Structure 1
């Protein structure tokens, strides 16, 4: 299947819709003409026709021949395969990006579906290649690595062969590929279109669901409560469909895992992330054991600041009293992010400038557009694109910094490694994005002179870190429970809500009183649908960045070059090799606590503040 990777921002719709007029509304829409001019562009059909011929020729030339290939033959086959995959990736990327920006447009939906079907059909000619590479004898393939050109491809082949024990026979793999467009992918599309079209009623107005989520950051508690009730009603209206989608996708995953022989529901995700099960277990255990000193402690402080005995779920993202509600224009947000990256390293600032000065970002908050944010690497011959919904809040600036990190990472990796070797496991894909957020936060903190505003900045950063670490690990724990229950049979809406409530109460702590309507809130989170078990990658990335930033603070000399080398490695190195130059080891359980201690120390500062 074509090699496509989207790096998502954490799934929160928590910025506030602004009435600041043109200042925020000037946020740009992207221009996809660097890919194709429109869905009617004749180059799309021309490229499909060319790629169809190339794929058929590739299959005829190489099928059944890899086991008797020389090193030079294998290199040529890999180059041919990469060229076809990159061509398919360009078309698929265009369709995906167009659909993300216009999710409720029926014509674009049909176009995107048509592209996906053609890509899947054409990819059937390429399917044999990875399967046959995996069947090559270890001794044979290792002997070929003596060739310098083939040795460059060793990381790609190595990562393919991670899945060797779980590979099915060729006929079964082909059926699974060709039926995916009417199976899993169809359910995902249904979810996306449903969520993009959903509205919630505030007074007499039916507003886009994302806009109402943004109202959960209102300073007026009554307005937050009103928004929460509207969201709950909207989710309740769609609950039957959302429960059906979730159950079908969980069952589909269980069936695939059983066919392939994966021992746990999360095992396939860990293999794709090139991370050991025990490393993920150590991360989750470390975060879980820190709930009381992190989220429980912070939200108890927040309840006190807000003058409440208990927080309701609609209070979680409430601004602190006397917090600056300033709306920042798109130009102001750009300036902040550009400065943060440029101050860290001029070359990184230059890359940030490419995104900010060209139409590579879709930031306008408009109806019918995908909620949340992501970065899409597209293909090395073009450039990544970023999508977000900019409302002018500090958190939106952080989201821009986050996606910018992804975009720069993708450029550096693609330039160095090409299409197939640039893809980074999700655990490491979040490193550059979270590091970019940290740079921006520290830049803002250093510029701020007011002690009160500094406290608000720290509190906001703590909340973002809790969302990235505690909340995402809780999401992961919810997914584990849900997939375990689905193996026993279809899971009711009530039982899913119960599982959700259990992990929320445990992770967020006694400061909260959760009303029963919150049992529905699992159903809007797209990662559960798009990428099961993706979410722990955020906690992995945040803790890793906290440790990495500590190294930068202690030993800044030469750090930027080592950091850029790490990003440029793409998917060619594993986490142990990437972190070794910084003296870090994610396999050490103490590593995770080092990252969590950074969050705890910020909460210490807030506790020590008499305000």
Structure 2
């Protein structure tokens, strides 16, 4: 929904890159004792239980608050002075906070166990009630966008209201695409049986998939991770079984993608949006030309990044051609020893403290106060995310920790999100949320700090080689793979305009970006053409994926600026995170002398990865 009220669990709540680049291993439910005492969420900071009186209290308050808000302000916004509009915004913000707390609690419970019928019902019921209660609020952005510019400017002269200027500016960017009030209300009411329902179908289908690999029944997490096992025969067996199971379910996935793409096309047509990507760019507060500059820079760099690296890896593995099950394979000299949870915690916290003690202090409560859920469990959502909840609570981090080096980097990544969300909370509910393009900044920077700390501690050339290769692979998965995914989505949505797409057509679109992005070192097994079907971003948040590439490229340039001129960098960095969504990317990057609208900006970030490949080549 682009105009109606939205609460918790928006797209920025999740970081599910694990589906492609951060695969996990072993069987669900078997790992908790293997890596130490893995933490679990304590959700009591939100609510004591699903049947707690506080839940009913907040639902009752929300229903009344939304009704009274509409009664007090609908049809009257243009006549308000700055002080009255400020009161209006504060009431809107409080509604957002209470709805967000309810939605966060229900969502976090659900993602702990997506196959639990009680949790699924609670989540669905809460979503339904929030949607119904907040329906009267749909008028707000529509009516604001009908107020004359000079009237809005007069309101914003009020000192307290002035800090909310970014809210008004972002709303008014959507003016050309508004529907009538009646249609906006209809879309709001239908949302729970629209995209949301198809998202649930996708989630439940993926959660129920079973993969039989060498006689063992596995879930998706476990099967996918075997594609990064030391044993090549296990990697192949897993890849072929994933392809087999996806192939058997491809009709369902095809229906989901056809429906969601068509729904998007219909909405775009009614709103007059020029491209399927326009809504995402507007919600990200980023200009289309900036995204295209990023996309073009990465595609142009395929030969010097992924093509060159995978040719090196082909040689290290002693193969004539790489197969898809070799892409995330460990190097022959890589130590497969599991990293204990306490060791992972120490690695990340030492790296954070090495940057600035404050960063470690902000991360500490995640480990000590039940803000992390780390173990792999039956029914738990795959991947990893950091969800900010609401600004009068705190974020929660979800992992599926299985002791790999990449799991350590995932911990660093999600803690970066968490630190960012804690710092941005002081902006309040309406200004704390960071556009997706900037939401990855602290997470990727946290990874970079952890990687550099580990690299500095490498005792042998082989250890350094493994670390460098791992970082390059993560960067390829973040930059190259995500831009290839973005191209796939663009092709899919464009093709859907011409009519219903068959599974074979979508498969062909997927394969059209694979060889281009991965390079000539690869062959592609039969069945790999279906691997688009289990990537959640295409379903939950179309065109989300370029935000990962944006964040990785931005952080590479940011880290280079830190190395070149560390004096005062930490203070500027914390100020950037504290700003949340209150500033445009140009304002946030200006203190560092960086400009994402300059095409050379992206080349600077890409050059950092290329230089790592240079070092790897020199080691051979």
TM-score range, shorter chain: over 0.9
State the SS of the aligned residue for 2:218. strand
Change over 3 Å in CA distance of 1:53–1:284 after alignment to 2? same
- In 2, Cα distance between equivalents of 1:146 and 1:351: 35
Equivalent position to 2:23, from 2, 14, 29: 14
Equivalent position to 1:3, from 2, 7, 19: 7
What's the CA shift for 1:25? 5.7
Give per-residue Cα distances to partners, 1:240-276, cap 9 Å, x unaligned. 1111011101101111111111101111100000000
**Equivalences for residues 57-206 of structure 1 within 5 A:** 57-206=68-217
| Corresponding residue pairs, total | 609
- In 2, Cα distance between equivalents of 1:29 and 1:101: 10
Are 2:486 and 2:546, in contact at CA under 8 Å, matched by a contact in 1?
A: yes
Give per-residue Cα distances to partners, 1:178-225, cap 9 Å, x unaligned. 001011100001111111121101133211111110111111110000
- In 1, Cα distance between equivalents of 2:326 and 2:213: 18
Q: 2:295 corresponds to which residue?
A: 284
**Equivalences for residues 385-396 of structure 1 within 5 A:** 385-396=396-407
Q: 2:542 corresponds to which residue?
A: 532
What's the CA shift for 1:16? 2.7
- In 1, Cα distance between equivalents of 2:584 and 2:305: 29
Runs of 4+ in 1 over 3 A off after TM superposition: 18-21
Are 1:28 and 1:362, in contact at CA under 8 Å, matched by a contact in 2?
A: yes
- In 1, Cα distance between equivalents of 2:14 and 2:596: 21
Q: 1:352 corresponds to which residue?
A: 363
**Equivalences for residues 265-304 of structure 1 within 5 A:** 265-304=276-315
Q: 2:456 corresponds to which residue?
A: 446
Are 2:284 and 2:436, in contact at CA under 8 Å, matched by a contact in 1?
A: yes
**Equivalences for residues 351-390 of structure 1 within 5 A:** 351-390=362-401
Matched, 1:46 2:50: no
Q: Relative to structure 2, which stretch is displaced further, 522-531 or 9-18? A: 9-18
Structure 2: segments with no counterpart, 5+ residues: none
- In 2, Cα distance between equivalents of 1:333 and 1:325: 15
State the SS of the aligned residue for 1:422. coil
Matched, 1:431 2:441: yes
State the SS of the aligned residue for 1:375. strand
Q: 1:485 corresponds to which residue?
A: 495
Give per-residue Cα distances to partners, 1:524-546, cap 9 Å, x unaligned. 10000000000000000000000
TM-score normalised according to structure 1 size: 0.98
Are 2:376 and 2:401, in contact at CA under 8 Å, matched by a contact in 1?
A: yes
What's the CA shift for 1:136? 1.1
What's the CA shift for 1:512? 0.3
What's the CA shift for 1:7? 3.7
Equivalent position to 1:256, from 263, 267, 280: 267
Matched, 1:513 2:523: yes
Equivalent position to 2:574, from 553, 564, 571: 564
Q: 1:412 corresponds to which residue?
A: 423
What's the CA shift for 1:130? 1.5
What's the CA shift for 1:23? 3.6
- In 1, Cα distance between equivalents of 2:91 and 2:547: 32
Matched, 1:459 2:455: no
Matched, 1:543 2:550: no
Are 2:556 and 2:605, in contact at CA under 8 Å, matched by a contact in 1?
A: yes
What's the CA shift for 1:557? 1.1
